[in-house]
Structure 1
């Protein structure tokens, strides 16, 4: 196994109990933070007081929790609270919390207050009262809060959250009720619930929140302990399992836990169908320095390294997928822990491909998530990975494997000093989720294609000016003009005749990339690549128009100009613009561009937009026209 010379860069503990503890005490605390949110103790009532317009002060007793749907901004004024594994104290800036019904509801859980035995309770009351004044809480509200205050509670300020990105999402008809809870009945509204509703959140049952099984808690404790002790090197943690088993949620919770103790954690996304920080179809490596307290579409950001694979599944081209994973992983600096998320394809060739990835990435820990009866996949023990054949690598049994130019895998291992590519050493941790429908892909809370569309919409929300009072339709924004001969063009997922290439590119989602070769074209273009390159991707855009007379692409993108100067390649994959972008934007009069219900099969290069069965909408078609 490659030597891991990197050392953790230890930072002061950023959780609620940063009070000069010894390293040993902090390691013990690391394990204690790997616990689930609990329901409020029997008989405990929420104490929520209106602090100002669109703001409320919430008091949570010891180990009391609030599970909610909606969105708000959280500030901890006194005590400490944990949300999705991250501990929030008074020293931290406000954090956005986004808890839509499409995902598991967030929970705010009060943490025990760490204080010296000789601390005067009156001093604690003074500190809490001062924090309320500093945040301009109304006097009447301060009096109500302090009348119910105890030194063991947590005092939180919840404020209405409204950003340009969330306004854009809510402006689209299919998502206009995105953060509203799905209620089957209307219970009696309490005064506290009314106060929270004015902020933008609605309390819900603890069963709708994240319920961590004993095996999950045990794995989290062990991983946090491994990452906070320097002696064993820098851990590389790979999370694997079937679809809809909770891999992304586990990774999210683990990283938030680690951020309580470390300045940063690296995250490698290998699940191209359900990505965390990018639109779908990408393999990426991200430096995570802040907690992410919401689903992927709420925290789209630019990774440190990203390649646009161009499809939501790699089954049609596993060889290129392995090459992309290798290229992205080569940027890992081995200075901080790395969490790797993998695909849910774990049957047949998918399991063989996962075996290859374990050999190539050499994790120190493999977290295998599955239900107890192991129906989806066999246990990935070190011995089984050592013996079994992969899709492109051979095990000790020398089983059959596909032949690819394994300069790839073999040269990679030799360059890292690996003596035997089939014999990785790692610790296997079993995690058995116990939430309803765990591992049943067909019964997921929201269909995967809808979640992919929402990630794209979250990314496009970055186009909105942060100071805009109202949402600007995308067709009202000014695109960049890109000459044909300034960028190379490649359609990744299928063969398109050169005569029809512009039909395919117009009104399409493209990756903005950079290839090593200089673009040289004597004519006006376009420049067409004959093979799909493996290259850096800086972001994405919509080709909203093609000017055939001036030889220009019109590209709408949130990528900043300093990055756009590096772009010399447009990659078009099998990731489509969400239907609502084409048919649901405000301000369009007359016929909608690029969309028709009169489909003309004689036009080559056009295609049918797939109907979303989850939305009862008219089925639209799409064709390109340059007249």
Structure 2
């Protein structure tokens, strides 16, 4: 290098003496670049064949060019063509995938594809795919399928006939067939528009849910135009599902256990702190199980982030369809549900356990059960989790934990059996040595709780997530309160008629008229004076429930319950008005009339109606109903109650 540098300086300096006026000095190449440009014997260009990548990287490292200016190796392009207006046909070779944001309807035309663990083949009906930016992006992956005895020419002929049946233009068919190879898959993607999505997107706060963020370096190809016509946009594969090796290993073991019928149906409990991917793990596991089993039972124990219902519920659902979107897009009617009325149970753990016990009693143990638990696993939350394990007796416990989380011990059979819960006592091994006989007498003291202890044979599977932000509460894509509002909007979207493409505001829909004497009323999250009960009911989110006792008619006012009932919840609604003169409640609900006949109780909890519902009342002139700006938050008790979760309860403070 010492011999090369002076010679370079001389060649740059000599011409400058002959020029007049200010001249721009040529850029000097830094020493790292010169080291990478040594002449190589046998190469006409003086650079090694594999040295171009290092050569370009040296410019980036020296700050001479930006990373985006360096030519990147071309990525394997997708083959996508427009079939007709709002639809496209996508061809994927085996192992290739498309990660996207947006929403579309997928039909498998040829081969086999996998979406979030669920396999889709040509014999199956179309599936709606929802991939908002609030959750990890979905991916369509071509997977291997049964080898065909047909020749490549016969397979091409079959593929052409399928494309003709779906009215794919001739030029598009030619382009697809040029990329056709054995073991490839073809899917039809169509534009998707449902009443629920129209209702959610009609609110300005959530109109961007299915939109994608603009990329810094735009890369436009014809395939992207075909995909955009269906309502989706291709994303980087890193935005999709990221499963760690420990997650895949645990899922493989659970799938094998669910297929074995010798030891009964497994009961799988998934636990861990917040933001570690419990819900994602459950969805992926159930989708894989639905490839092999007709149905799976799902027990929802998380009050804040429910999967199939609006927040504040404990429910048991029979799952027969895969999860191909976020929770607010696949709300379903549970087999049994209790409306708890809160997003957490810190203040009423006994009522929470009683409600869970009531819902769990409907499980018949004839199919595998997957249990979703809360992310509250510190302090009293861990003790409550031990009570839940004793109550449900799982055969497998999947414990998901992040690297920086040390407050949750491993829930081994020995630990869960011997530890004291929040409301139960464990089995503690006692070794008593008899001085007279000199023998050891070992026995387990009997637990004094109301629940039976877990069997000693449950299997503990420890999972370590590897996606960015795992275990960091509040570092997710979307805040939990926003997801709860979207779940409520998804439920109210069922009120929209499917025959009309326009979104109807809720105040334009005809409500049900319910007499005061037909239903009893109870506010379950706080104490309300009887004279103010109608103010609490008006414009509230209510659970439509069925209590076993008959409602006692009261002529002069509403029928009030003195205690919080643990009963079946048949659905939800909004009390959009109270007619005091005619003694009627006006309720909007998507619950079918045959189920409404069973409702005899209205439960008002701490689940609010999203603010955007009140602010999005179209056609209103003047003041918006139920909305006011003249409110004094300085009055004592007028503001939101702040919970101090860092303070320990008296029973957990040790002297």
Paired residue for 1:369? 400
Greater than 6 Å deviation, 4+ residue runs: 601-604, 606-611
Of 489, 502, 507 in structure 2, the residue corresponding to residue 475 of structure 1 is 507
Structure 1 position 136, deviation (Å): 2.6
- Residue of 86, 97, 113 corresponding to 1:54: 86
Once residues 273 and 206 of structure 1 are traced to their aligned partners in structure 2, the CA distance between those partners, rounded to angstroms, is: 30
The structure, 1 or 2, with the larger RCO (C-alpha pairs under 8 Å, 6+ apart) is 1
State the Cα deviation string for residues 308-344 of structure 1 (Å, max 9, x = none): 0000000010000000110000001111110000000
SS in 2 for 1:462: helix
Greater mean deviation of Cα atoms: 424-433 or 365-374 = 365-374
C-alpha distance in 2, partners of 1:570/1:298? Answer: 26
The answer to whether structure 1 residue 265 and structure 2 residue 271 are counterparts is no
**In the alignment, is residue 326 of structure 1 matched against residue 357 of structure 2?**
yes
Q: Kindly indicate whether residue 266 of structure 2 is the aligned counterpart of residue 235 of structure 1.
A: yes
Residue aligning to 2:311 = 280
Q: Does 1:548 align with 2:580?
A: yes
Contact 1:579–1:609 (8 Å) recurs in 2: no
Counterpart residue number, 1:512: 544
Residue 269 of structure 1 and its aligned partner are, at CA, apart by 0.5
Q: Relative to structure 1, is the Cα distance of residues 469 and 608 closer, same or farther in structure 2, using a 3 angstrom cutoff?
A: farther
Q: Aligned residue for 1:87?
A: 119
> What are the equivalent positions in structure 2 for 1:480-499 lying under 5 Å apart?
480-499=512-531
User: Which of 517, 535, 557 in structure 1 is aligned with 2:567?
Assistant: 535
Partner of 2:204: 173
Match of 2:483 in 1: 451
Q: TM-score, normalised by structure 2?
A: 0.82
Rounded to whole Å, the distance in 2 between the matches of 1:441 and 1:160 is: 35
1:211 counterpart SS class: coil
Q: CA deviation at 1:114?
A: 1.7
Q: Residues 123-159 of structure 1, C-alpha deviation per residue, up to 9 Å, x if partnerless?
A: 2222222222222323332222122211221101000
Counterpart secondary structure, 2:474: helix
Aligned 8 A contact 1:310 1:572 in 2: yes
Kept after mapping to 2: 8 A contact 1:388/1:395? yes
- Give CA-to-partner distance per residue, 1:201-241, whole Å, 9 cap, x none: 11111111001000000011000111111112100100000
Report the Cα offset of residue 608 of structure 1.
Answer: 6.2
Distance 2:484 2:173 in 1: 44
Q: Which residue of 1 aligns with 2:245?
A: 214
Corresponding position: 1:148 with 2:149? no
CA distance in 1, matches of 2:263, 2:362: 22
Of 581, 594, 599, which aligns to 2:613?
A: 581
Residue 231 of structure 1 aligns to a residue in which SS? Answer: coil
Aligned to 1:311: 342
TM-score, reference length from structure 1: 0.85
**Offset, 1:397:** 3.2
Q: Structure 1: which 5+ runs fail to align?
A: 1-40, 400-407, 414-420, 612-627
Equivalent residues of 1:237, 1:340 under 8 A apart? yes
Are the equivalent residues in 2 in contact too, given 1:395–1:422 (CA < 8 A)?
A: no
Q: Is the 8 A contact 1:284 1:307 kept in 2?
A: yes
Deviation, structure 1 residue 385: 0.4
Q: For the structure 1 residues 481 and 231, does the alpha-carbon distance in structure 2 shift closer, same or farther, using more than 3 Å as the test?
A: same
User: Does structure 2 retain, via aligned residues, the 8 Å contact 1:164–1:466?
Assistant: yes
CA shift in 2, pair 1:423/1:262, >3 Å:
closer
Partner of 1:34: none
1:294 aligns with 2:325: yes
Structure 1 pair 610–183 and aligned structure 2 pair: CA distance change class (3 A): farther
Structure 2 CA distance for aligned equivalents of residues 477 and 515 of structure 1: 28
Contact kept in structure 2, 1:389 and 1:397, CA below 8 Å: no
Measure the CA separation in 1 of the matches of 2:309 and 2:118: 22
Shift of the alpha carbon at 1:376?
3.8
Q: Say if 1:93 and 1:608 are closer, same or farther in 2 by CA, change over 3 A.
A: farther
Matching of residue 430 in structure 1 with residue 462 in structure 2: yes
Q: C-alpha displacement at 1:393, in angstroms?
A: 1.0
Cα distance, 1:112 vs. partner? 1.2
Root-mean-square deviation (Å): 2.1
Query: Any conservation in 2 of the 1:362–1:425 contact (CA below 8 Å)?
Result: no
Q: Distance in 1 between matches of 2:401 and 2:460?
A: 13
Gaps of 5+ in 2: 1-72, 431-446, 643-655
Which residue in the other structure is 1:7 paired with?
none
CA distance in 2, matches of 1:252, 1:305: 20
Where 1:389 maps in the other structure, the secondary structure is: coil
The 10-residue stretch of structure 1 (222-231 or 365-374) with the greater mean CA deviation from structure 2 = 365-374
Q: Name the CA distance, whole Å, in 1 between partners of 2:400 and 2:300.
A: 17
User: Does structure 1 conserve the Cα–Cα contact (< 8 Å) formed by 2:617 and 2:624?
Assistant: no
Partner of 1:254: 285
Partners of 2:404 and 2:471 within 8 A in 1 = no
